[in-house]
Amino acid sequence: MKPVVPYIKATQDRVVLEIQRGCIRGCRFCQAGMIYRPTRERDVEVLKEYARAMLNGTGHEEISLSSLSSSDYSKLEELVNFLITEFQDKAINISLPSLRIDAFSLDVMSKVQDIRKSSLTFAPEAGSQRMRNVINKGLTEEDILTGAGQAFEGGWTKVKLYFILGLPTETEEDMKEIARLSDRVARRYYEIPKDKRNGKCQITASSSFFVPKPFTPFQWAAMCTAEEYVHRAAVVKHEFMQQLNRKSLKYNWHEADETVLEGVFARGDRRTSKVIEEAYRLGCLYDSWTESFHNELWLQAFENTGINPDFYTLRPRSLDELFPWDFIDIGVSKQFLKREWERAMKGEVTPNCRQQCSGCGAAAFGGGVCYEDKNEI
Ligand code: SF4
């Protein structure tokens, strides 16, 4: 285990240890959660050995545990305790992205982070329970407020909340609930007696705009126009201004034009390659850097190639449409995705892979969570 170390400073200047692949949860917008099925955990003893060898072999001062949902790794406690005892006095930083916020995670984080400086991240993805059921987030408002309350009592004052705007079936109420939920999180902070608080709290809510992805139950969904996305963000922003704790709340949102482009290429077919080539000829390069993103050049490229972006973004797909990616077998069947899309439209929640198998098709690979005993959690 001797990863190559560049002799210039890299952005990801740390050991990355993948603890499991896949996710048991089944959020309906998430491509990674579908294409990496089934969830496969790595053996904890192997991980300990890798951690030791990679830190010694690279000289990195930070180790990050990577996975789509670290809290679902069944030996997380053992692994984290090992890392803390083994490496913390050697000034090795331990970072744990993608944790669910609960008592155990907060305890771990308080051991590995400076509480005053760090902020906690929650990803409720949607403001209302109705919307969270549509996306199969499996997170109740009580989970969010309890987690936030425990975090505040543990000394954290900064919380980041991530949301997606423009999800299928979203109503104005759902949009406004983003602001109201953020306010309820802030209220939870001010329930702590004044002498026990650490000044003001800072809740930063961010929303990205929904982009339907291939191989997900939402691959049939239509997107909104850039104008509609901006309008929805304005509805949320306005609702934030009405909240009691607005001084403790911040709201920002992602670029709508970039989202629409992402939407075109996420579900594009071979014709869209002409647009990319034309955009390049017109001067588009390094588009994910805001300063070098020129939407007008992209619009020109669509016009020059006679391709209508709305065909890829605004059109709801019928259930029998053949998709450009249908010839790729990811293990998860199209019938399962369809079933999930229909359940989403009815707001029905599907249990996670540890509670009950939903027969997605990935068991055909012969391993992972599909062969664990169910109803363990
Ligand atoms: S086959 Fe069942 S347990 Fe396995 S990934 Fe699919 S839904 Fe989950």
Write the CATH number for 21. Answer: 3.30.750.210
The residues lining ligand 1, judged by C-beta closer than 6 Å to any ligand atom, are 37-38, 353, 357-360, 362-363, 369-370
In a domain, 342, yes or no: no
Q: How far is the CA of 362 from the centre of ligand 1 (A)?
A: 6
Q: How confident is the model at residue 374 (pLDDT cuts 50, 70, 90)?
A: low
Residues 191 and 239 in one domain: yes
Protein residue whose Cα sits closest to atom 4 of ligand 1: 370
Q: Dump pLDDT digits (tens) for 27-41.
A: 999 999 999 999 999
Phi–psi pair at 162, nearest 5 degrees: -105, 135
Structure tokens at 212: 């339907």
Q: Distance between CA atoms of 12 and 250, rounded to whole angstroms?
A: 28
Q: Distance between CA atoms of 193 and 143, rounded to whole angstroms?
A: 22
Q: How confident is the model at residue 117 (pLDDT cuts 50, 70, 90)?
A: low
Q: How far is the CA of 359 from the centre of ligand 1 (A)?
A: 6
In a domain, 272, yes or no: yes
Q: Flag whether pLDDT at 42 surpasses 80.
A: yes
| Radius of gyration, alpha carbons of the chain | 22
In a domain, 289, yes or no: yes
In a domain, 331, yes or no: no
Domain that holds residue 308: 258-317
Q: How far is the CA of 123 from the centre of ligand 1 (A)?
A: 23
Protein residue whose Cα sits closest to atom 3 of ligand 1: 370
DSSP H stretches of helix in 36-168: 44-58, 76-87, 103-112, 129-134, 141-153
Structure tokens at 189: 């902070």
In a domain, 377, yes or no: no
Owner of token pair 């034009």: 257
Residue scoring higher pLDDT (58 or 219):
219
Q: How far is the CA of 47 from the centre of ligand 1 (A)?
A: 24
Q: Distance between CA atoms of 125 and 139, rounded to whole angstroms?
A: 10
Atom of ligand 1 nearest to the CA of 360: 6
* Angstrom distances, CA of residue 76 to CA of 43, 45, 93, 242, 264: 11, 12, 17, 41, 38
In a domain, 180, yes or no: yes
Residues 248 and 264 in one domain: no
Q: What is the mean pLDDT of residues 326-343?
A: 98
Residues 240 and 127 in one domain: yes
Residues 289 and 216 in one domain: no
Residue scoring higher pLDDT (2 or 40):
40
Q: Flag whether pLDDT at 106 surpasses 50.
A: yes
The count of domains in the chain is 3
Concatenate the DSSP letters of all residues of 246-309 into one string.
GGGEEEEE--HHHHHHHHHHHT--TTHHHHHHHHHHHT--STTSGGG--HHHHHHHHHHHT--T
Residue scoring higher pLDDT (321 or 196):
321
Q: End of a domain among 54, 75, 99?
A: 99
Residues 267 and 134 in one domain: no
Q: How confident is the model at residue 377 (pLDDT cuts 50, 70, 90)?
A: very low
Contact assessment for residue 264 and residue 272, using Cβ atoms and an 8 Å cutoff: yes
Q: How far is the CA of 368 from the centre of ligand 1 (A)?
A: 9
Residues 133 and 228 in one domain: yes
Q: End of a domain among 208, 229, 254?
A: 254
Q: Flag whether pLDDT at 376 surpasses 80.
A: no
Atom of ligand 1 nearest to the CA of 361: 1
In a domain, 352, yes or no: no
Q: How far is the CA of 323 from the centre of ligand 1 (A)?
A: 23
Q: Distance between CA atoms of 304 and 283, rounded to whole angstroms?
A: 14
Q: What is the mean pLDDT of residues 246-262?
A: 94
Residues 131 and 239 in one domain: yes
Q: How much of the chain, in percent, has pLDDT values that exceed 90?
A: 77
Q: How confident is the model at residue 103 (pLDDT cuts 50, 70, 90)?
A: confident
Residues 4 and 90 in one domain: yes
Protein residue whose Cα sits closest to atom 6 of ligand 1: 360
Residues 170 and 53 in one domain: no
Residues 147 and 238 in one domain: yes
Residues 139 and 234 in one domain: yes
Residues 117 and 171 in one domain: yes
Contact assessment for residue 163 and residue 135, using Cβ atoms and an 8 Å cutoff: no
Q: Flag whether pLDDT at 88 surpasses 80.
A: no
In a domain, 106, yes or no: no
CATH number of the domain to which 127 belongs: 3.30.750.200
Mean pLDDT rounded to a whole number for the chain: 93
Q: Flag whether pLDDT at 94 surpasses 90.
A: no
- Predicted pLDDT of residue 115: 67
Protein residue whose Cα sits closest to atom 5 of ligand 1: 38
Q: Dump pLDDT digits (tens) for 193-230.
A: 988 888 899 999 999 999 999 999 999 999 999 999 99
Q: End of a domain among 200, 229, 254?
A: 254
Q: How much of the chain, in percent, has pLDDT values that exceed 70?
A: 98
Q: What is the mean pLDDT of residues 94-111?
A: 82
Residue type, 313: T
